[in-house]
Structure 1
Amino acid sequence: MIENSRSGIPPKLDPEELQLRASPRRVVRFRRGVIIAIAALGSGAVFGVAMMALQGPALRIRDQAEDLYSTERKPTVEGLDTLPHDYSGMKPKPPVLGPPLPGDLGRPIL
């Protein structure tokens, strides 16, 4: 038989005294008004930024509106005169095909 008087084994505890899980953490409760106020401020900020972005140059300073680059007399590019005026003047070149691939039957089967 096994001896119960060993010094390394602790005595058995009562099963009702044991606790299997740790105690749950405290529940944090928020007030409904605080949540609504934070959501309203966030959506108002997004709306304000969107309105400023879509409004255009109305909020910009008028003094900085002077022309930084003159667009009245722009020099033309040298090679621009040699190009055709529309695509009807360009003749398409046929594509250059390489050697046939393995399994290529030539003409379309359909």
Structure 2
Amino acid sequence: MTGALFVYGTLMSEAVMRSLTGRGFPRRRATLLGYGCGVSDAGYPFITPRTGGHVEGLLVEGLDAESLRRLDRYEDEGRLYLRRSVEVLADGGRIACDTYVGNLAVLRPVATAG
């Protein structure tokens, strides 16, 4: 089974993805509507739902279960970030995927945009 993940911030770096997963994956530009970006007081980028907002990022495809587990650990999924199902725009179409949404119960925003 393979999955797709919309990434923004640090995970947009192919070098970071390779260091975390041990391999590269197909990627393409994508836009997530209805979300905006923020930065926490610790300097972590995050996204949260925002009416009228949009986030530019990359759609990473072909992720295997082990790679997703490694990314979940890196993102501290379930605490700092919550992996959620979303739909992005890429190459003129809508594509279902997951993304990491900031957990505002833990992250303290200092700046927002988008």
TM-score range, shorter chain: under 0.3
Which of the two has greater strand per residue? 2
**Quick check: which has more Rg, 1 or 2?**
1
TM-score normalised by length of structure 2: 0.15
Which of the two has greater helix per residue? 1
